[in-house]
Amino acid sequence: MTGTRRRAGIRPLRLVIVVLAGVLLLFGTLLFVRAALQPRRTTPLFDPPVLAGQQLWGYCAGGFYARHGDVIVLTSTGHCTTEGTVADDPDGITVRGVFGPAARDATCPYARHRCASSDMNYLVVAKDRVPWGHLNTVDMGTGGYRIIPSGTSPLGCPDVAIGDPVEIDGRNINRTGRVLEKGEYLHPDDGDYFPCMIAADIAVESGDSGGAVLVRGIPAGVSSRSFGGMLGFTPLAEGMAQLGLDLCTTPNCGLPPPNGPSPASPGVPVNTPGGS
């Protein structure tokens, strides 16, 4: 009787082991399939890297390279940090640059609000972190590089229409969608007023702020707000004008690189999909 009970107890134990092994195998298979289906980056990284379209510092993302006089800057968002903040590489040692001022109107008709043409500031890029030869390039991660054609003008609020295609790459996650609506932004529980805020059906989270927004493949905005988890961005042209910036549309942005000529940027034109 004792031996019979022992054998009877062994069988359920073996069954449990078999079931657990099956569950683990299934879980491992699902993880493998998920990893295999995950989009992968296929474009090279430059040294120094192109940070337009990529994570810049903390919860800030990089927008587009531009000139402020003869100084190379990278657009970001005015609500992410304050003027004078130093941005480091992930190693915490290498300095990427120092943040400049945010776009601001001289006066604001709305009490307890800050008025601005766009939710934008910029990083003054450290001289040794300027990616010469690639200043008209936007790194859209798994979406590939986008090269801004010479003479391209940034889009303003009137240039963006409902239904236009939109692309962003904050948090190194490439996403696309379409413009849903646009209008002024004024809320009593938010101290910022913008005459134009554009909403798109693209999911966003903390870390997307400041990132490059392409509309119809053209530089168009800066990621600014979340509306129920969906993207809200302010227009690029108005913000750049208020900050005195000129969009880089050539590899060296019309400036002589310190170490002589730089190679032309690889990739695809900014208004061409793909390029990964």
**List of E strands, the chain:** 55-57, 60-61, 65-68, 71-76, 86-88, 95-99, 114-115, 121-125, 137-139, 145-147, 165-168, 175-185, 192-203, 212-215, 218-227, 230-235, 246-247, 268-269
pLDDT band at 273 (very low <50, low <70, confident <90, very high): very low
Residue 266 has pLDDT above 60, yes or no: no
Residue 263 is predicted with a pLDDT of: 55
Inter-residue contact 166 to 203 (CB < 8 Å): no
Question: Which is more confidently placed, 274 or 96?
Answer: 96
pLDDT band at 1 (very low <50, low <70, confident <90, very high): very low
> Which residue, 141, 147, 143, 150, is CA-closest to 165?
143
> Between β-strands 192-203 and 230-235, what pairing exists: parallel, antiparallel or unpaired?
antiparallel
Residue 172 is predicted with a pLDDT of: 80
Residue 151 has pLDDT above 50, yes or no: yes
Cα separation, 110 vs 98, whole angstroms: 30
Residue 170 is predicted with a pLDDT of: 81
What percent of the chain stands above pLDDT 70? 79
DSSP state of 266: P
What size, in residues, is the chain?
276
Residue 52 is predicted with a pLDDT of: 96
Taking all residues of the chain, what is their mean pLDDT, rounded to a whole number?
85
CA angle in degrees (0–180, nearest 5) for 202-208-130 = 125
pLDDT band at 249 (very low <50, low <70, confident <90, very high): very high
Cα separation, 274 vs 267, whole angstroms: 10
Half-sphere exposure of 45 (CA within 13 A, CB side): 9
Could you tell me the CA-to-CA distances from 207 to 4, 57, 192, 223, 253 in Å, in that order? 63, 9, 19, 10, 27
Could you tell me the CA-to-CA distances from 22 to 33, 67, 72 in Å, in that order? 16, 59, 57
pLDDT band at 244 (very low <50, low <70, confident <90, very high): very high
Residue 217 has pLDDT above 90, yes or no: yes
Q: Report pLDDT digits (tens) over 10-66.
A: 565 565 565 555 545 554 443 443 333 455 666 788 899 999 999 998 888 999 999
Residue 259 is predicted with a pLDDT of: 79
Inter-residue contact 231 to 208 (CB < 8 Å): yes
At 78, the amino acid letter reads G
Could you tell me the CA-to-CA distances from 127 to 78, 101, 102, 249 in Å, in that order? 22, 19, 21, 19
Cα separation, 155 vs 220, whole angstroms: 5
> Exposed, middle or buried, 39 (CB in 10 Å: 0-12/13-18/19+)?
exposed
198, two tokens: 């554009």
Tokens 């549309």 identify what position? 249
Residue 230 is predicted with a pLDDT of: 97
Residue 188 has pLDDT above 80, yes or no: yes
Residue 216 has pLDDT above 50, yes or no: yes
> Exposed, middle or buried, 263 (CB in 10 Å: 0-12/13-18/19+)?
exposed
CA angle in degrees (0–180, nearest 5) for 172-173-177 = 135
- pLDDT mean over 195-218: 96
Inter-residue contact 55 to 62 (CB < 8 Å): yes
Tokens 């604001």 identify what position? 108
Residue 207 is predicted with a pLDDT of: 87
